[in-house]
Amino acid sequence: MFKLDILAKNTAEKVSEQMISLVYDQVNAWGRHDDFFLALLKKLNVNEIADLGCGTGRLTTHLGKEGYHITAIDPNEEAIEYAKNKDYPDELTWIIDDSSNLQTEAFDAVIMTANVAQVFLTDESWQHTISNIYRALKPGGHMIFDTRNPLAKVWEQWEKDLTPDVATNFATGEPLEVWTEYEGFKEGIFTFFETVKNAQTGEVMIQEKIQLKFRTLTEIYDSLQQGGFSQIQAYEDWEFKQATEKAKSFIFHCVK
């Protein structure tokens, strides 16, 4: 499963919100990527953090409990409602909106996790989001996000997995299956469909079309520089080492 929400508006691109809140937390276990984000934030002297594309708040609530003051933003109203039902500290604020709602020079860090950076399918929407983040950061503030390396062709592994993820409808106790069908990769964009079914009856409950933009290491560097960032560090595969073209994932850390 994938955490995918559209965070930029007022652009030429109009895309639906791409996230199935009902099953997201169940099929996305805590992993080394979460530990990496926590470790990186602990290295920095930050307090005010905006979690852009927070989704159901799986990582957001954890950060709040770590003592950070979090503003969590996502345009997906259903996902925010799921997040609000979790146990979280008073220092956590939920906003149903996108990057244009970020306050100017208000944050020590703005983060985008779970490959949210890949939902911006056009250069215009991606550059718009970078500009909004740059504006929202205090001088010396940090932009942190992860994205997959197109050269790793991870979609080839996805397409080999023909088994469904399993989950539970907590409202009814019924078992669920999450099936994925792949349309393929074209012009830098990978398209697939996720369908949630009742495992007992086969009834389709939810279906979502998901599209991801894969940008190269160089393309991302150039876009960040165009957005005003001059201090740019890229890490590789959830380790504190310089990213190379052999990486499966890039983790970018930029300073305003």
DSSP secondary structure string for all residues of 29-75? ---HHHHHHHHHHHHS---EEEEET-TT-TTHHHHHHTT-EEEEEES
Same domain, 82 and 142: yes
Same domain, 199 and 219: no
Same domain, 83 and 164: no
Q: Domain span at residue 167?
A: 152-212
- H and E: helices and strands count for the chain: 7, 12
The runs of H, that is alpha helices, within the chain are 21-27, 32-43, 60-65, 77-84, 123-136, 155-158, 217-226
How do the pLDDT tens digits run along the chain, 256 residues long? 444 433 333 333 333 345 688 898 898 888 999 999 999 999 998 999 999 999 999 999 999 999 999 999 999 999 999 899 888 878 899 999 999 989 999 999 999 999 999 999 999 999 999 999 999 999 999 999 999 999 999 999 999 999 999 999 988 999 999 999 999 999 999 999 999 999 999 999 999 999 999 999 999 999 999 999 989 999 999 999 999 999 999 999 999 9
Same domain, 139 and 175: no
Report yes or no on 222 lying in a domain.
Answer: yes
Report yes or no on 13 lying in a domain.
Answer: no
Report yes or no on 12 lying in a domain.
Answer: no
Same domain, 68 and 140: yes
Q: How far from the centroid of its chain's Cα atoms is residue 187's Cα?
A: 21
pLDDT the model gives residue 224: 98
Same domain, 126 and 250: yes
Report yes or no on 42 lying in a domain.
Answer: yes
Report yes or no on 2 lying in a domain.
Answer: no
Same domain, 49 and 158: no
**What is the count of structural domains for the chain?**
2
- Contact (Cβ atoms closer than 8 angstroms) between residue 81 and residue 24: no
Same domain, 38 and 107: yes
Same domain, 110 and 175: no
Same domain, 50 and 25: yes
pLDDT the model gives residue 7: 39
Report yes or no on 242 lying in a domain.
Answer: yes
CATH code at 26? 3.40.50.150
Provide the residue type at 101 as one letter: N
Same domain, 91 and 208: no
Residues paired with residue 159 on neighbouring β-strands, in sequence order:
none
C-alpha 128/C-alpha 99 separation (Å) is 9
Report yes or no on 161 lying in a domain.
Answer: yes
Same domain, 179 and 145: no
Q: What helix, strand, coil percent values describe the chain, rounded to 5? A: 30, 35, 35
Report yes or no on 4 lying in a domain.
Answer: no
